[in-house]
């Protein structure tokens, strides 16, 4: 937050203006043909992931985000290209949850979900395809094979 204030009985928060999201930052447009070109330098990739991970770790001190995707990580507009880590901010807290001290189990599971989604986001960002492909089971047309128990000993288990 940059500034919190009140004017004429109205309260407001002034936030830093964000830059490009991770995907737009990672893929630049070629000025000649307009096609996306990835920053394929491994050092740059490492800086981007470190910055995003630090932003998530900072947020996890206070709550869980629950909506981890590349659109919710923005790169600071004043980015120093020589910096060791890309300055990344985590935004969009609509579904986030600030927790109480006594909610430890819920919080740990939710943090794990954030971290799992972070890993999937990083994979998707740098590979341009999802880890798992396919549709919803509800739209799956083929019938699943049914199995029957042929051994009477299975009946002893019930």
CATH number of the domain residue 51 falls in: 1.10.510.10
**3-state SS assignment for residue 136:** coil
φ, ψ for residue 135, nearest 5 deg? -95, -170
Q: Tokens for 60?
A: 């996890």
Whether 3 maps to a domain, the answer reads no
Whether 12 maps to a domain, the answer reads no
Whether 152 maps to a domain, the answer reads no
Report the pLDDT value the prediction gives residue 144, as an integer from 0 to 100: 52
pTM passes above 0.85: no
Whether 155 maps to a domain, the answer reads no
pLDDT less than 70: residues of the chain: 1, 29-31, 36, 38-40, 81, 93, 95-107, 128-158
Q: Tokens for 91?
A: 């935004």
Whether 158 maps to a domain, the answer reads no
Report the pLDDT value the prediction gives residue 8, as an integer from 0 to 100: 92
- Spell out a b/e string for 131-158, using b for 16 or more CB atoms within 10 Å of the CB, else e: eeeeeeeeeeeeeeeeeeeeeeeeeeee
Whether 79 maps to a domain, the answer reads yes
Q: How many CB atoms lie within 10 A of CB 98?
A: 9
Number of domains in the chain: 1
Show the CA angle centred on residue 155, arms to residues 154 and 156, nearest 5°.
90
**Which residue, 34, 3, 35, 21, is CA-closest to 77?**
21
What do you get for the CA distance between the two ends of the chain, in Å? 60
Report the distance separating Cα 59 and Cα 75, nearest Å. 16
* Residue span of the structural domain in which 119 resides: 18-128
- Spell out a b/e string for 60-72, using b for 16 or more CB atoms within 10 Å of the CB, else e: beebbbebbbbeb
Whether 70 maps to a domain, the answer reads yes
Report the pLDDT value the prediction gives residue 133, as an integer from 0 to 100: 62
């Amino acid at each position: 937050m940059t500034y919190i204030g009140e004017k004429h009985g109205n309260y407001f928060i002034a936030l830093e203006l964000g830059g490009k999201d991770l995907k737009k930052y990672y893929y630049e447009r070629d000025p000649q043909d307009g096609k996306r070109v990835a920053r394929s330098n491994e050092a740059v990739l490492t800086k981007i992931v470190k910055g995003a991970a630090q932003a998530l770790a900072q947020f996890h001190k206070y709550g869980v985000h629950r909506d981890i995707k590349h659109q919710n990580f923005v790169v600071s507009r004043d980015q120093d290209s020589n910096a060791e880590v890309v300055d990344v901010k985590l935004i969009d807290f609509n579904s986030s949850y600030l927790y109480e001290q006594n909610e430890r189990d819920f919080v740990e599971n939710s943090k794990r979900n954030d971290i799992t989604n972070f890993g999937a986001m990083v994979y998707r960002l740098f590979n341009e395809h999802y880890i798992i492909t396919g549709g919803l089971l509800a739209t799956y047309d083929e019938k699943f094979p049914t199995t029957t128990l042929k051994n009477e000993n299975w009946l002893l288990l019930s």
